[in-house]
Amino acid sequence: TGYRAESGLAKYREGHIPGAAFMDLIRGFSDTSTGLGFSLPAPGALAEALGTAGIGNDNPVVLYSSGHTMWATRAFWLLRYAGHDRVAVLNGGLAAWRDAGHTLRSGDETYASTDFVPRPRPEIFVDATAVQNAMNDERICTVNALSPEVYAGTGDHHYGRRGHIPGSRNLFYDRLMDGQRFRSAEALRDALQETGMLDAEQVITYCGGGISATIDAFACLLTGKNSVAVYDGSMSEWVRDESLPLKTGETP
């Protein structure tokens, strides 16, 4: 059984942080031709979407989500891929803003379109071939960000074939969060260290469709581990090729 995401536009229009525009990750910031739900757009298409949203190379950007923080970290990963450095994620998202007693605004807000010049960082996303190569490379720590049940292949939820990519370890993204906030730096470091991510030369994170994997990847950045990439296609792509192996159970 797959996972279907729904646009957050209606929630945005009900109430958003004053001055915030809406970023449509499902259509505006994904290559919709792959059939995978979420796929990294080509650099030119991504740059055009950023410019249309009013984001220029020098504009500071703060990202937040009305739902799970993973949508903001996915957007962060896209902007970082495009070469934008002045990007932050609002820890706790809309809920934290509301809980702090700040006001919301309804309706739509937009920024004037501008030009964004892409300076792609191709190394922060990887494809299935790179993940296959990593399976036999002890220097690379590949990490599945899904729940222990999905990782082991024992739960009701799966992506068409059960299990995880052989050799990959499990760090459920929820372990890194306290509600919609990231846990303390010490707690993040402990979880990453336990999974072997901090000692690896490189980390690759994956999930179902390249969204929750950005929580694990972002946690790496928060702890100073910068050599981390996200497998964009993740399980949604991997399971489509029957020749690509999967392993069930609780061990890598």
**Cβ neighbours of 102 (radius 10 Å):** 11
**pLDDT, mean of residues 214-238:** 97
Structure confidence at residue 5 (pLDDT):
64
Residue 145 pLDDT exceeds 50: yes
Distance CA 225, CA 206 (A): 16
Taking CA atoms, 73 is separated from 7, 14, 100, 162, in Å, by 16, 22, 21, 26
Structure confidence at residue 3 (pLDDT):
45
Q: Which of 50, 75, 192, 207 is catalytic?
A: 207
Whether 141 is a known active-site residue: answer: no
| pLDDT tens column, 208-218 | 999 999 999 99
Structure confidence at residue 1 (pLDDT):
34
What pTM value is reported for the model? 0.95
Distance CA 19, CA 205 (A): 33
**pLDDT, mean of residues 42-51:** 95
DSSP 178: E
Structure confidence at residue 8 (pLDDT):
84
Structure confidence at residue 2 (pLDDT):
39
pLDDT tier at 151 (50, 70, 90 boundaries)?
very high
